[in-house]
């Protein structure tokens, strides 16, 4: 079972797993996306149409999957679907914060609860695994992605508690941490459409969006993450997390190694967030 | 005169910190949810405290608190600090938590803390006479080492960890610094507040594990914990000192509650926790017959 299969990592993972002999249940939000996927994979795919903010629909989907499984245990649950709320953190509204966490944090946790009985299986069956797709942003918080980074950081924390609490049942919980993936995040930046014109962050925010647009074709192929998901699901002794940065040294090792205050200054300069920029404006 | 805002001052670390800052000559704005607590604070701490009556989830009440504080400040004065301390802990095994539990936990600890910070940014900004104020988030060891049955609480502290990074980077524009402190176990009544939740899970597989965790906390962790006054002293020091660290841990039993769990490979830590908290498959088997 994979969430968010209409595009990006989810879409690529459907094909990757079907090619390796899996039957995939895929969560999408529209009937259109469901038809598109069903047409592409008539035999090995079952679409489920629901939204992660709808807890009842999550429960219903688990019942539907149970019907299809016919007594078999579910091999894996991949929490991949995510929304991206961006904006200067001083001005992000509570409504946008709540939406961000409903989709990226509460939704996946609800799915883990709802699909747990299917993953656990019955006596004698091999229990399935959960893979939570988080983000390097949860590790390295970039300006203007505050809500998104925080929601992913929360999911990282929950991956640990889930793994520790599901331990007695043999249901393993593994994290896949992608860096920048091609066309991934940019397509979703419209999720929150608030304008921050007129605030002190107007210019830095616009600059940030422009550079994000320029970089839209830059990043990992989604298949790289699908491969990590596949490994997490199938390795006999999986690691507790698989980190897949787009640039190993510059995008991961260096920022996690350097003193945070130094990175603050570098980012501050790049993104026009130093106090001198405010002074020059006034 | 220096001023500071501390959220959640009716009891615990918040109350002790309010007293501590007053001793050091500060005027404290302290948020409380109940009128009765506001009166009590006025009686106990006198002129040096201005209770602000707001729940961190209530944006309208927070805005009123901002106005009260603004009126109290003389021209050229600002807040030297904002201590985001108010928080709740909704414990329980993940399988038995509801979506409303998730929302409630995050509304207070994350959206609420952020809401207060956002609202008070204008009062933290530097003035002609005073440097910009500082924000301190009272975090928890759980933010770095999430323990079973505290999934939601730990996740909120992790989310705040990330938000502190974002705030620190974005509020550089206003020279407002942001400090995140992982506070270790504290000798206070928090655990007994949590203990009442235990009976709720009597019929679940996790009952014995929850008991083990509580017992361990009461017998080992809490008695070896920090006093509230020690935490208050750290908060004061970091509002005052010239070059504070952006993030650090405060712990009494530093080796066992911080150093070791952060050093061990995660899968090994999982096994140790499982043994300690009776979370191994064989424990569940054995506890079934109890």
What is the token pair recorded at B111?
Answer: 């959206």
A202: Cα separation from own chain's centroid? 27
Q: Which residue does chain A place closest to B168, by CA atoms?
A: A264
Range of the domain at A267: 2-281
Distance CA A274, CA A268 (A): 5
Q: Provide the pLDDT for residue B217.
A: 87
Burial class of residue A203, CB neighbours in 10 A (0-12, 13-18, 19+) = middle
Residues of chain B in contact with residue A167, where contact means CB-CB under 8 angstroms, are 270, 274, 279-281
Residues of chain B in contact with residue A106, where contact means CB-CB under 8 angstroms, are 99, 102-103, 106
Q: Which residue does chain A place closest to B152, by CA atoms?
A: A158
- Is B280–A168 a contact, with Cβ atoms under 8 angstroms apart? yes
Those of residues 96-135 in B touching chain A at CB distance below 8 A are 97, 99, 102-103, 106-107, 110-111, 114-115, 118, 121
- Position B198 pLDDT exceeds 60: yes
Domain CATH code at residue A41: 3.40.50.720
* Cβ count within 10 A of residue B68: 14
Burial class of residue A207, CB neighbours in 10 A (0-12, 13-18, 19+) = middle
Q: Provide the pLDDT for residue B192.
A: 67
Calculate mean pLDDT across residues B8-21: 97
Distance CA B188, CA B205 (A): 29
What is the token pair recorded at A116?
Answer: 């747990």
Q: Provide the pLDDT for residue B79.
A: 98
Q: Which residue does chain A place closest to B245, by CA atoms?
A: A261
Q: Provide the pLDDT for residue A209.
A: 80
Q: How far is A37 from chain B (nearest CA, A)?
A: 30
Confidence of residue B218 (pLDDT cuts 50, 70, 90): confident
- Output the pTM of the full model: 0.96
Confidence of residue B93 (pLDDT cuts 50, 70, 90): very high
What is the token pair recorded at B74?
Answer: 């003389």
Q: Provide the pLDDT for residue A120.
A: 97
What is the token pair recorded at A30?
Answer: 């529209």
Within a domain: residue B132? yes
Q: How far is B198 from chain A (nearest CA, A)?
A: 16
Q: Which of B147, B165, B206 to mutate to test the interface with A (most CBs of A within 10 A)?
A: B165
Positions in chain A whose pLDDT score sits under 70: 183-194, 281-282
Confidence of residue B26 (pLDDT cuts 50, 70, 90): very high
Burial class of residue B170, CB neighbours in 10 A (0-12, 13-18, 19+) = buried
**Which residue among B20, B26, B153, B206 is the active-site one?**
B153
Domain CATH code at residue B26: 3.40.50.720
Residues of chain B in contact with residue A103, where contact means CB-CB under 8 angstroms, are none
Calculate mean pLDDT across residues B20-39: 98
Give the total number of structural domains in chain B: 1
Within a domain: residue B276? no
Confidence of residue B110 (pLDDT cuts 50, 70, 90): very high
Q: Provide the pLDDT for residue A27.
A: 97
Within a domain: residue B220? no
Give the total number of structural domains in chain A: 1
Given CB atoms, is B262 within the 8 Å cutoff of chain A? no
- Position B233 pLDDT exceeds 80: yes
Residues of chain A in contact with residue B155, where contact means CB-CB under 8 angstroms, are 105, 154-155, 157-158, 161
Q: Which residue does chain A place closest to B280, by CA atoms?
A: A168
Q: Provide the pLDDT for residue B235.
A: 98
Q: Provide the pLDDT for residue A256.
A: 87
Q: DSSP letters along chain A, please? A: -EE--SSHHHHHHHHHHHHTT--EEEEESSHHHHHHHHHH-TTTEEEEE--TT-HHHHHHHHHHHHHHHTTPPP-EEEE-------B-TTT--HHHHHHHHIIIIIHHHHHHHHHHHHHH-STTSPP-EEEEE--GGGTS--TTBHHHHHHHHHHHHHHHHHHHHHGGGT-EEEEEEE--BTTTTGGGGGGS----TTSTTHHHHHHHHHHHHHTTT-SB-HHHHHHHHHHHHH-SS--SEEEE-SSHIIIIIHHHHS-HHHHHHHHHHHTT-SHHHHHHH-
Range of the domain at B11: 3-201+226-260
Per-residue pLDDT reduced to its tens digit, B52-73: 999 999 999 999 999 999 999 9
Q: Provide the pLDDT for residue B197.
A: 76
- Is A90–B118 a contact, with Cβ atoms under 8 angstroms apart? yes
Task: Clarify whether B153 is annotated catalytic.
Answer: yes
- Is B110–A153 a contact, with Cβ atoms under 8 angstroms apart? no
């Amino acid at each position: 079972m994979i969430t968010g299969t209409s595009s990006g990592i989810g879409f690529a993972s459907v094909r990757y797993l079907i090619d390796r002999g899996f039957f995939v249940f895929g969560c999408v939000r529209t009937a259109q996306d469901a038809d598109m996927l069903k047409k592409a994979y008539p035999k090995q795919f079952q679409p489920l149409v629901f939204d992660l903010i709808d807890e009842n629909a999550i429960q219903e989907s688990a019942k539907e999957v149970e019907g299809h499984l016919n007594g078999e245990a579910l091999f894996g649950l991949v929490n991949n679907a995510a929304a991206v709320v961006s904006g200067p953190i001083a001005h992000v509204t509570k409504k946008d914060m709540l939406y961000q966490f409903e989709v990226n944090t509460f939704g996946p946790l609800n799915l883990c609860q709802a699909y747990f009985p299917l993953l656990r299986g019955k006596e004698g069956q091999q229990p399935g695994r959960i893979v939570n797709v988080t983000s390097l942003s949860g590790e390295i918080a970039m300006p203007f992605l505050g809500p998104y980074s925080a929601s992913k950081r929360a999911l990282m924390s929950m991956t640990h508690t889930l793994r520790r609490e599901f331990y007695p049942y043999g249901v393993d919980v593994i994290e896949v941490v992608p860096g920048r993936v091609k066309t991934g995040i940019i397509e979703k930046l419209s999720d929150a459409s608030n304008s921050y014109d007129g605030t002190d962050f107007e210019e830095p925010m616009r600059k940030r969006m422009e550079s994000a647009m320029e970089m839209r074709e830059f990043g990992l192929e989604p298949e790289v993450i699908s491969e990590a998901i596949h490994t997490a699901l199938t390795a006999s002794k999986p690691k507790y997390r698989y980190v897949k940065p787009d640039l190993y040294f510059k995008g991961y090792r260096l920022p996690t190694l350097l003193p945070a205050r130094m990175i603050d200054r570098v980012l501050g300069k790049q993104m026009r967030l130093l106090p001198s920029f405010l002074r020059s404006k006034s | 005169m220096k001023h500071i805002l501390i959220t959640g001052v009716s009891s615990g670390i918040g109350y002790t910190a309010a007293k501590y800052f007053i001793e050091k000559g500060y005027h404290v704005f302290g948020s409380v949810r109940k009128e009765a607590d506001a009166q009590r604070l006025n009686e106990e701490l006198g002129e040096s405290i201005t209770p602000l009556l707001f729940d961190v989830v209530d944006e309208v009440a927070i805005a009123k608190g901002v106005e009260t504080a603004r009126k109290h400040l003389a021209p050229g004065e600002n807040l030297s600090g904002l201590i985001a301390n108010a928080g709740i802990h909704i414990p329980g095994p993940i399988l038995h938590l509801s979506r409303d539990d998730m929302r409630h936990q995050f509304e207070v600890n994350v959206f609420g803390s952020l809401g207060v910070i956002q609202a008070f940014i204008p009062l933290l900004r530097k003035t002609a006479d005073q440097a910009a104020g500082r924000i301190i988030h009272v975090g928890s060891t759980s933010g770095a080492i999430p323990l079973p049955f505290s999934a939601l609480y730990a996740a909120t502290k992790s989310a705040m960890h990330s938000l502190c990074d974002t705030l620190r980077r974005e509020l550089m524009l206003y020279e407002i610094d942001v400090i995140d402190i992982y506070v270790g176990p504290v000798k206070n009544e928090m655990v007994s507040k949590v203990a009442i939740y235990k009976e709720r899970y009597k019929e679940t597989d996790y009952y014995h594990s929850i008991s083990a965790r509580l017992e361990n906390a009461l017998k080992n962790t809490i008695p070896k914990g920090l006093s509230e006054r020690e935490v208050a002293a750290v908060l004061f020091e970091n509002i005052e000192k010239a070059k504070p660290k952006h993030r650090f841990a405060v712990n009494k039993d530093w080796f066992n509650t911080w150093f070791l769990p952060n050093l061990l490979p995660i899968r090994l830590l999982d096994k140790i926790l499982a043994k300690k908290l009776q979370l191994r498959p064989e424990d569940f088997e054995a506890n079934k017959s109890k």
